[in-house]
Amino acid sequence: MNELEQLTALCAKLGAEAGPAATMAAQLQKRASQFAAERGVTREEAMRYLLEVMVKGRQGEPWQEAGASRPPPSMREKLLSRFNATFGRSPTVITRAPGRIEFIGNHTDYNGGPVLGAAIDRGVWVGVAPRDDGDRRFGSEQYSQIVVVAASELEKQNGAADWVNYPLGVLAALPEFALRAPEGLDFMVISDLPTGAGLSSSAALELASALAFLEMTNQHPDRETVVKIGRHAENHFVGVPCGILDQGVSGFGKTDHLVHVDGRGPTFSTVPMPAGANLWIFNTHTKHALVDGLYAARHRECMEAAAGLGVSALVDASEETLAANESKLSPIAARRARHIIGEIARVRATVEALQAGDLPRVGGLLTASHRSSQSLFENSTRELDFLVDQLAATSGVYGARVTGGGFGGAVMAFTSPEFGETQAAVVSKSYHEKYGAAPDVLRTQLGDGAEVI
């Protein structure tokens, strides 16, 4: 057998039908030559590398760097080989959207309040190409199965296919914004965001999908509309009553800046991150089984508190209004209102402290935010509290808090350069001793918002 026949047989063994297998094999040959020239490696090495990516991708294994002599592939290269391996051709549009850290403003967004977030240098990459048979085929590096949905259908998916609800929700949202949804398409997503870490991979997937669908249909609405399409998908198709924080930060991120979202407009702006401050994520991998229901319950309790205080949203209530009307609220609603009112004041104070370059003051506000989530909003967990306690007692840490919706997930630490890998390892070790598993530790850089590549 010659090389082409051998490759065709391999592609068929990995599940491709005869025609696509031959096309994939021919593309592999072409890509191996290009890759060898780009990377200064032999064609044989390039081919071995591409085959490994394809086989691992097909088996649903996460990417592992396979040897020091070979350069790790960029996310773009990974997406291209995965797309090729699955659909036997290249995507016509590639997009990227970052994950986010919630810096401060816990559950303030859907109460009309402000929140500060940061887009990070990791995220979700999407490739799409049109199909003329009207099918929408969705592939992900995390699942070996391709989900096929006819363009005439917009049914919510269940079980292992439920991740498709994010791009499907975007397709369903587009007409609501007087925009056209593409018909048939091949869709592939890869990610370097840890999932379940409270870094909002779902909003990143919505934004990357929205930009991809808009680009392939040559429609270019403003950035605010793209962000709102993502939130619409989450609220109305996925069914989570989230605010605009995650999509807003993924859409408006800027290197070395925090994103300020005013939940009332909503309006978006950026605040420079002072030099000498670092952000770390400690992902506990714990997640409350009822997390979506608990988020929705907090949303409901806040709306109930606003109604009891006679305002349309808690952003319009003050400490004084609450003190004068507390008897009209249930004890739970009063605690939720007290958290939101205090948290909104902390976000505003944080913006001022950042502008003044007062990092210890910023850190104090962050830890105070966590204490309020812990005792008043009751969306922390003992694992998250333990990490915050350990971090707050470590030198070089300005402050630490739960990031995102809560009920598990991750803690964020805001640190000076004095806090490094050694200090992070000490915190991890003490967590491991207590809970029997180490948290994932990630030092993040602040990156740019969603884009077409």
Instruction: Pick the closer one to ligand GLA by CB: 47 or 242.
Output: 242
DSSP per-residue string spanning 97-155 = EEEEEEEE-TT-GGGT-EEEEEEEEEEEEEEEEE-SSSEEEEEETTEEEEEEEETT--P
Integer Cα distance of 188 and 40 in angstroms: 28
Binding footprint of ligand GLA on the chain (CB under 6 A): 102, 106-107, 109-110, 200, 242-243, 245-246, 404-405
User: Token pair for residue 365?
Assistant: 């506000």
- State the amino acid at position 46 in one-letter form: A
Integer Cα distance of 381 and 384 in angstroms: 5
Integer Cα distance of 161 and 178 in angstroms: 28
Instruction: Pick the closer one to ligand GLA by CB: 257 or 401.
Output: 401
Q: How far is CA 430 from CA 24, 159, 227, 396, in A?
A: 49, 36, 40, 17
First and final CA of the chain: distance in angstroms?
Answer: 39
Instruction: Pick the closer one to ligand GLA by CB: 95 or 379.
Output: 379
Which residue minimizes CB distance to ligand GLA? 242
Instruction: Pick the closer one to ligand GLA by CB: 109 or 215.
Output: 109
Of 151, 197, 237, which Cα lies nearest the Cα of 404?
197
Which residue, chain included where needed, has tokens 């509290």? 385
Instruction: Pick the closer one to ligand GLA by CB: 302 or 334.
Output: 302
**Total residue length of the chain:** 453
Task: Find all residues with CB under 8 Å of 285, minimum gap 6, and list them.
Answer: 196, 197, 437, 439, 440
Closest approach, Cβ 138 to ligand GLA, in A, equals 22
Task: Find all residues with CB under 8 Å of 186, minimum gap 6, and list them.
Answer: 83, 86, 87, 89, 91, 128, 129, 131, 137, 139
* CB environment 30-47: b (16+ within 10 A), e (fewer): ebbeebbeeeebeeebbb
Instruction: Pick the closer one to ligand GLA by CB: 243 or 449.
Output: 243
Integer Cα distance of 210 and 192 in angstroms: 19
Give, in degrees to the nearest 5, the angle at Cα 377 between 376 and 379. Answer: 130
Catalytic residue among 132, 133, 192, 246: 246
Closest approach, Cβ 115 to ligand GLA, in A, equals 6
Q: How far is CA 162 from CA 147, 169, 225, 244, 424, in A?
A: 10, 11, 25, 22, 35
Instruction: Pick the closer one to ligand GLA by CB: 77 or 109.
Output: 109
Three-state SS at 245? helix
Integer Cα distance of 351 and 271 in angstroms: 8
Integer Cα distance of 411 and 102 in angstroms: 10
Instruction: Pick the closer one to ligand GLA by CB: 11 or 249.
Output: 249
Instruction: Pick the closer one to ligand GLA by CB: 98 or 243.
Output: 243
| Whether residue 192 lies in the annotated active site | no
Give, in degrees to the nearest 5, the angle at Cα 300 between 413 and 116. Answer: 30
Of 104, 165, 107, 116, which Cα lies nearest the Cα of 300?
107
Q: Which residues are catalytic?
A: 246
